[in-house]
């Protein structure tokens, strides 16, 4: 039933948002960001990208749905956004917050993209996000995250956000954020199909970007710590978390109807992301990238296992390597 609902939502979104192919400036922007870091597929996606993300994104691009759907909103608020960032946030440069700039530069070099604008916002919430338009993407990191994350964890988070830029997620992610704003309430019945379709894609896009973050941090344990800190939001509580117990609590929800709420979420639940990243860490691609030896799974097998892990109705977490006991 959930699959049929999803298919109907996608069909409705396609009908509502059917438009011509993306304009040349979008493709030019993406090409301008690439500096030859990660290898790319014939589709133009990096070789680490989750195939389900790539497939949905290409379908959106062929319809040119969301970029134009919110282009007028984004353009109209562009000057306001710039003023807000420069007036209320700290812009990270080699002269201002140079240590964070150095970390960001390393992530950009690893992924082979131009260094995007990076801001630090005064917020007690542990979060980071990427926002903007085709021509002007930027990353915002909350101060609470900088305070509580060590350098390797910051590399994972910033690398994750840069993954959104490298994988052409920025426009579509920005539109999804716009659709979820209070202003969209008045058009809720019209935009609901598009929102559901975009949320379905977004959960797959997050898997891709978790992989980008891991390629930047080169440390699965630090990536796992990042997820746990996001889950609890407290350094004091983090010190008391047991990873196995945390992952087991998700298993306890198996069979609960409440699990279907994830269908409307923009991110997979954190335990699924941890399991999916552990699978990617066993890939030949990752092992070669970090110099941990030859062997490992091919990406087709990694993506197949990952698809089963992020399934909503009946996720197969047994496909993931067993978590290490205790606090990572």
pLDDT per position as a tens digit, 273-320: 999 999 999 999 999 999 987 889 999 999 999 999 999 877 776 555
pLDDT exceeds 60 at position 107: yes
Do the beta carbons of residue 140 and residue 129 sit within 8 Å? yes
* Residue 66 structure tokens: 């969301």
What is the rounded CA–CA span in Å between residue 66 and residue 57? 11
What is the rounded CA–CA span in Å between residue 171 and residue 144? 26
- Better-predicted residue by pLDDT, 181 or 112: 112
Mean pLDDT of 238-260: 81
Q: 259-265 — which CB contacts under 8 Å span 24+ positions?
A: 259/312, 259/313, 260/2, 260/312, 260/313, 262/203, 262/312, 263/2, 263/5, 263/6, 263/196, 263/199, 263/200, 263/312, 264/196, 264/199, 265/199, 265/203
User: What pLDDT is recorded for position 33?
Assistant: 40
| Residues 6 or more apart in contact with residue 265 via CB below 8 angstroms | 199, 203
Mean pLDDT of 27-33: 39
pLDDT band at residue 219 under the 50/70/90 scheme: very high
Do the beta carbons of residue 50 and residue 207 sit within 8 Å? yes
**Please, what is the Cα angle at 203 between 199 and 207, to 5 degrees?**
160
pLDDT band at residue 75 under the 50/70/90 scheme: low
pLDDT exceeds 70 at position 257: no
Average pLDDT, the chain: 80
Mean pLDDT of 198-221: 96
User: What pLDDT is recorded for position 68?
Assistant: 60
User: What pLDDT is recorded for position 277?
Assistant: 97
pLDDT band at residue 17 under the 50/70/90 scheme: very low
Mean pLDDT of 114-118: 94
């Amino acid at each position: 039933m959930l699959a049929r609902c999803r298919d109907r939502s996608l069909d409705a979104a396609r009908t509502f948002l059917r438009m011509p192919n993306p304009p040349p400036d979008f493709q030019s922007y993406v090409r301008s960001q690439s500096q030859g870091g990660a290898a790319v597929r014939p589709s133009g996606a990096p070789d680490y990208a989750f195939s389900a993300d790539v497939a949905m994104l290409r379908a959106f691009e062929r319809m040119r749905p969301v970029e134009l759907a919110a282009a007028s909103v984004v353009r109209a608020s562009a000057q306001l956004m710039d003023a807000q960032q420069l007036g209320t946030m700290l812009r990270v440069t080699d002269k201002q917050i140079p240590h964070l700039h150095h970390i960001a530069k390393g992530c950009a070099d690893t992924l082979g993209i131009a260094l995007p604008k990076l801001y630090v916002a005064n917020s007690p919430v542990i979060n980071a996000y990427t926002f903007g338009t085709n021509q002007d993407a930027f990353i915002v990191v909350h101060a609470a995250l900088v305070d509580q994350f060590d350098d390797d964890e910051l590399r994972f988070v910033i690398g994750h956000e840069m993954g959104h830029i490298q994988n052409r997620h920025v426009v579509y992610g920005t539109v999804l954020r716009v659709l979820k704003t209070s202003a969209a309430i008045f058009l809720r019945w019209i935009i609901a199909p598009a929102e559901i379709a975009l949320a379905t894609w977004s959960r797959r896009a997050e898997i891709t970007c978790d992989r980008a973050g891991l390629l930047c941090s080169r440390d699965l344990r630090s990536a796992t710590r990042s997820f746990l800190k996001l889950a609890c939001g407290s350094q004091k509580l983090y010190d008391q978390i047991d990873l196995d117990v945390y992952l087991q609590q998700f298993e306890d929800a198996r069979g609960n109807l409440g699990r279907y709420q994830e269908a409307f979420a923009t991110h997979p639940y954190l335990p699924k992301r941890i399991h999916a990243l552990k699978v990617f860490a066993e890939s030949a691609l990752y092992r070669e990238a970090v110099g941990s030896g030859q062997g490992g799974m091919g990406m087709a097998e990694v993506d197949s296992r990952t698809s089963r892990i992020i399934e909503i109705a009946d996720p197969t977490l047994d496909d993931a390597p067993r978590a290490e006991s205790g606090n990572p």
